[in-house]
């Protein structure tokens, strides 16, 4: 399934360290030639300070066991540089220990204030360099400690503050700390939206943030709602997707399909998929088109089978496979039932890629759990559907949700235009929050 593999496209917008889990995942799936992929990983890791990982890749490539002189020299240089940077930030060590101490945590604000007042700016810069160096060595937990200090002490107008925000988000992702990663993601997004970037720069920042956020959203309990809100209902991010990375529609479509509570987003998703169908298509977006645009149930059935193969080989959404299949079958069933009043179980089983007995049990459970107005005639093998008008209350809720999202988008647009006019006229100065 190399045809539908998005790893190469996604890695363009990910930090080098974030690409390693994706590449290792591809090695397990045998999508590409193992030797070629290992050589690419070796080339990538050689640009970091992860000497041990380099040795591991060399062993898997069955290269000579003795380390080249270059690697030995690099290891020595890394250790020397680490000692030098640690010596530069020695005044920070005591304060860091105090921050980690539960007894003094309640007084952390005063400690931070003391850091800002007493520490030299060069020490803070050295801490940021050490955090970056530890990160390049693959020592993410120690890097996080210094990044946390830098984020607290640095002013938002510091030239390195944005790098610290990106670095902390990367570390939280690599250490699988999803709740904190979501907080960092929100903080970084707010900074990007409020900083005085040029139009090209802000588009680049948003594109990178979109790709990093996919890792967070599909691993956080609230991520399935948040990815829809950000990618589909924030115009600036939807524009970035359409302009720079239409392949992200795969993940947006997956989020909508597996999220039963956001079926009202389907109409907006379908519009976007149709608009971008000339630039990007894959089995997941085509499944939505076949089912809701063409009402081609046979095509949707075939695409559902292809979707399973795509998801199994996609690092970002492999964990959603069972939910995707279950909800995709439900969508086929619901759409089919809106068109037909009496359906044979055999026909439904064929549309759902199931055996007739399995389909009957699945439909019985679905009717019971979802409280659908339907009856099964086991003798004739029929499912007889009743009328299912959408309640006025549900229609009102969906309209209010849509209006709320659009109102927020318009408010942000008005504020942005007002801010631009204010800056041009020189009436106001930039404020950081």
d(CA 157, CA 432): 7
d(CA 128, CA 144): 10
Angle, helices 283-292 vs 297-312, to 10°: value is 160
Our measurement of the distance from residue 106's CA atom to the centroid of its chain's CA atoms, rounded to an integer in Å, reads: 33
The predicted structure's pLDDT at residue 227: 95
Q: How far are the Cα atoms of 7, 8, 24, 28, 64 from residue 37, in angstroms, in the given order?
A: 12, 12, 9, 11, 18
Half-sphere exposure of 14 (CA within 13 A, CB side): 26
Compute the Cα dihedral for 263, 264, 267, 273 and give only its sign. Answer: negative
d(CA 109, CA 115): 10
Which contacts of 161-170 are long-range, i.e. CB under 8 A and separated by 24 or more positions? 161/191, 162/191, 162/195, 163/128, 163/132, 164/128, 164/131, 165/191, 166/15, 167/131, 167/132, 167/135, 167/143, 168/144, 169/212, 170/15, 170/17, 170/18, 170/135, 170/212
Average pLDDT (383-388) is: 61
Cβ contacts of 209 within 8 Å, gap of 6 or more: 185, 188, 189, 192
| pLDDT tens profile 306-333 | 999 999 999 999 999 999 998 998 888 8
pLDDT confidence bin for 87, thresholds 50/70/90: confident
Cβ contacts of 9 within 8 Å, gap of 6 or more: 245, 247
The predicted structure's pLDDT at residue 433: 33
d(CA 69, CA 44): 19
Give domain limits for the chain: 342-385
The predicted structure's pLDDT at residue 390: 58
With 0-12 CB in 10 A as exposed, 13-18 as middle and 19+ as buried, what is 9? middle
What pTM does this model have? 0.81
d(CA 71, CA 51): 7
d(CA 39, CA 249): 30
Average pLDDT (376-386) is: 66
Whether the predicted pLDDT of 183 surpasses 70: yes
**What integer best gives the mean pLDDT of the chain?**
83
> Of the given ranges (37-41, 116-120, 125-129, 250-254), which has the lowest mean pLDDT?
116-120
The predicted structure's pLDDT at residue 14: 95
| pLDDT tens profile 73-85 | 888 888 999 998 8
d(CA 251, CA 38): 27
Q: Which two tokens stand for residue 299?
A: 């095509």
Cα-based torsion angle of the residue sequence 368, 369, 374, 379 in order, rounded to the nearest 10 degrees:
-40
> Of the given ranges (52-66, 104-118, 150-164, 370-384), which has the lowest mean pLDDT?
104-118
Cite the beta strand spans of 283-333 per DSSP E: none
Half-sphere exposure of 345 (CA within 13 A, CB side): 20
């Amino acid at each position: 399934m190399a045809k539908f593999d998005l790893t190469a496209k996604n890695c363009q917008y990910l930090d080098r360290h974030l690409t390693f889990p994706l590449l290792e995942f591809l090695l397990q799936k045998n999508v590409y030639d193992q030797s070629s992929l290992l050589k690419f990983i070796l080339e990538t890791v050689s640009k970091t300070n992860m000497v041990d990982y380099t040795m591991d890749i060399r062993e898997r490539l069955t290269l000579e066991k003795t380390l080249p002189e270059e690697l030995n020299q690099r290891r020595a240089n890394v250790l020397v540089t680490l000692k030098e940077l640690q010596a530069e930030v020695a005044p920070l060590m005591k304060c860091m220990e105090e921050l980690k101490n539960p007894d003094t945590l309640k007084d952390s604000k005063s400690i931070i204030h003391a850091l800002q007042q007493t520490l030299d700016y060069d020490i803070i810069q050295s801490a940021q360099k050490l955090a970056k160096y530890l990160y390049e060595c693959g020592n993410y937990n120690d890097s996080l400690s210094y990044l946390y200090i830098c984020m607290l002490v640095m002013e938002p107008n510091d030239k390195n503050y944005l790098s610290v925000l990106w670095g902390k988000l990367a570390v939280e992702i690599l250490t699988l700390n999803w709740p904190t990663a979501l907080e960092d993601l929100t903080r970084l997004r707010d900074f990007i939206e409020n900083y005085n970037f040029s139009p090209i720069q802000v588009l680049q920042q948003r594109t990178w943030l979109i790709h990093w956020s996919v890792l967070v959203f599909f691993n956080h309990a609230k991520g399935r709602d948040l990815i829809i809100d950000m990618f589909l209902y924030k115009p600036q991010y939807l524009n970035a997707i359409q302009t720079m990375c239409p392949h992200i529609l795969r993940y947006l479509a997956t989020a909508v399909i597996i999220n039963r509570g956001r079926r009202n987003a389907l109409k907006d998703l379908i519009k976007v998929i149709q608009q971008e169908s000339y630039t990007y298509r894959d089995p997941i977006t085509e499944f939505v088109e076949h089912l809701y645009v063409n009402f081609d149930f046979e095509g949707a059935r075939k695409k559902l089978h292809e979707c399973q193969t795509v998801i199994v080989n996609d690092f970002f959404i492999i964990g959603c496979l069972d939910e995707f299949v279950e909800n995709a079958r439900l969508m086929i069933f619901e759409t089919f039932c809106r068109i037909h009043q009496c359906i044979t179980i055999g026909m439904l089983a064929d549309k759902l890629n199931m055996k007739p007995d399995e389909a009957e049990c699945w439909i019985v459970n679905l009717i019971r759990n979802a409280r659908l107005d339907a009856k099964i005639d086991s003798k004739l093998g029929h499912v007889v559907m009743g009328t299912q008008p959408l309640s006025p209350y549900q229609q009102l809720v969906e309209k209010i949700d849509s209006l709320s999202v659009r109102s927020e988008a318009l408010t942000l647009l008005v504020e942005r235009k007002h801010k631009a006019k204010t800056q041009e006229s020189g009436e106001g100065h930039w404020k950081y929050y």
